[in-house]
A = this chain, B = another copy of it.
Amino acid sequence: MPELLTKLSFEGKVDQLLANPDRGSGLEKGAVSKAYFRFSGMEGDCHGGLTRASDSRMLKQYKRGTEVRNSRQVSILSREELAEVAARMAIPAVKPEWVGANMLVSGIPDLTLLPPGSRLQFPSGAMLVVDAENHPCRYPAEIIARHHPDPAVGFVKAAMHKRGVVGWVEAEGLISSGDRITVWIPPQRIFAHK
């Protein structure tokens, strides 16, 4: 029987974990060495919750503020992709705390292009499911502009398809900085109808 999920031949690594307990203080998050991920999201971070209010990204599907299941509990970005974004902007770095990251990872090429339904597995047994690629928006652009007011290319343009993925917790567990990440992807095929 064909597999529902296929393990990639390489592993990723957790470079950094970040949390922001208070959404009112803005998008920027602070580093933590480890965190427990529960079905409700990352402990100590304000983007958790089993449901959330739909936002501007979903206006074609929902009236703004509709209660929807929270498939954006966790924001995951790639160290390599952020370095590429910084290079495009001609600035020294785009720090993960500027773009609302919960997790900075390395070793997973094209992290942002991971297919929906991919699974990221951690040594504790914790499992995160990729819901979708995250599109760059103006909030991080404003934060970056405080540090680098005159980039060669704006963040929204520079970060397209490099801004990481969002996802939700399928299995609970502790995740620590330095953890290895096993990646599982669903069958790769193009849907034949439009």
Residues of chain A at the chain B interface (Cβ within 8 Å) = 1-10, 39, 50-51, 54, 57, 60-62, 66-69, 71, 109-110, 113-117, 119, 121, 125, 127, 129, 131-133, 135, 156, 160, 168-172, 184-194
Contacts and interface: CB of A to CB of B under 8 A. Distances in A.
Which of A7, A171, A191 counts the most chain B CB atoms within 10 A?
Answer: A191
Number of copies: 2
Contacts of A2: 135, 160
Nearest to A183: B193
Given A50-B50, A171-B69, A185 B190 contact: no
A172 B151 CA distance: 43
A113 B109 CA distance: 26
Contact of A171 (B7, B67, B115, B129): B67
Given A7-B60, A68-B127, A132 B119 contact: no
